[in-house]
Amino acid sequence: MEGLTFDLAKTGLRELNQYLHGSAESLAGKEVLVTNPDGAHNIAVGCNAPVKVTIDGHAGYYAGGMNQLAEITIHGSASTGVAENMMSGKVHVKGFASNGAGASAHGGLLVIDGDAGLRCGISLKGADIVVGGSVGSFSGFMAQAGRMVVCGNAGDALGDSLYEAVIYVKGTIASLGADARLEEMTDADLTGLGELLQQAGLDHDPASFKRVASARSLYHWNADANQEY
């Protein structure tokens, strides 16, 4: 593997991102180290090649945003919207993640070793999110597809207005959001969850998780259900 280092204390963010937007052929198998990120926003956004990016420190907003194919590791914490709208590839936050982690992500895997803030997995559209710690309130809000795994606890209004996404929680759930309900874990859940935990490098018994999914009662207008539309 060929290595390349971008020291953000000396090099501008634009240079880093432009390099990462090179052709898939030129970047395939490359390893890029980003040093002194110092909380800069928009690190490694719009990647579109199977490149490995290691961020050595804390990242600001939207780290790994709209990622396709790249494998991005943050050796620190990530601010709002890490891996937002990811399509494929992997983003791994070794520390904590702020609000809206994995927002609207369509594919790929987001792993957060620590806790995640509010609205983790909001509008999720097919990606998988595994959180080693706990998630804040309104996580999984309007999540449409994909899976979110919470190894710690979940805050209030978990899975509010869920569509077809499924949430697995090991710890406590402060409260469920509108139309979210607890369901039995099936064999398929146990198998899939086991694989996800393995991919995330986390050692938990899948059988110790609860499944949260949509009751689908908000899918259609219904005046008699006294729903708050």
Partner 1 sequence: MSEHPIQFKRVQKEESALFDRGTMDYIHRASTTGLYEIRGLGAKRKLPHFDDLVFLAASLSRYPLEGYRERCVTKTVLGTRFAKKPIELDIPITIAGMSFGALSANVKEALGRAATAMGTSTTTGDGGMTSEERGSSKTLVYQCLPSRYGFKPDDVRRADAIEVVIGQGAKPGGGGMLLGQKVNPRVASMRTLPQGVDQRSASRHPDWTGPDDLAIKIQELREITDWEKPIYVKVGATRVFNDVKLAVHAGADVVVVDGMQGGTAATQTCFIEHAGIPTLAAVRQAVDALEDLDMKGKVQLIVSGGIRTGADVAKAIAMGADAVAIGQGTLMALGCNRDVYFQDGQPVSAEADYAALGTQAGFCHHCHTGKCPVGVTTQDAVLEQRLQPEWGAKHLKNYLKTLTMELTTLARACGKQDVHHLEPEDLVALTVEAAAMARVPLAGTQWIPGWRE
Identify which of residues 106 and 181 has a Cβ nearer to partner 1 in the complex. 106
State which residue, 80 or 134, has the beta carbon closest to partner 1: 80
- Give least dist CB 182 to partner 1, A: 20
Distance CA 166, CA 140 (A): 9
160/162 Cα distance (integer angstroms): 5
Residue 20 corresponds to which tokens in the numbers above?
């990462």
User: Least separation, in Å, of the C-beta of 221 and partner 1?
Assistant: 5
Cβ–Cβ under 8 Å, residues 101 and 86: no
Catalog residues that contact partner 1 under the rule CB under 8 A: 13-14, 17-18, 21, 41-42, 45-46, 48, 60-62, 65-66, 68, 80-81, 84-85, 87, 100, 103-104, 106, 119, 122-123, 125-126, 141-142, 144-145, 163-164, 219-221, 223-224, 229
CB 186 → partner 1: shortest distance, Å? 19
Residue whose CB is less far from partner 1, 23 or 203:
23
Beta strand 210-214 with 180-183: parallel, antiparallel or unpaired? antiparallel
Question: In terms of CB distance, is 57 or 89 closer to partner 1?
Answer: 89
| End-to-end C-alpha distance for the chain, whole angstroms | 53
Which CB sits closer to partner 1, 27 or 197?
27
Helix, coil or strand: residue 206: helix
Least CB distance to partner 1 at residue 208 (A): 29
Radius of gyration of the chain, Cα coordinates, nearest whole angstrom: 18
| Spatial contact of 81 and 104, defined as CB atoms under 8 Å apart | no
Q: Which is nearer to partner 1, 126 or 136 (CB)?
A: 126
Smallest separation, CB 66 to partner 1 (Å): 4
What gap in Å lies between CA 140 and CA 147, rounded to an integer? 9
- Decide if 163 contacts 183 (C-beta within 8 A): no
Least Cβ distance, residue 179 to partner 1 (angstroms): 12
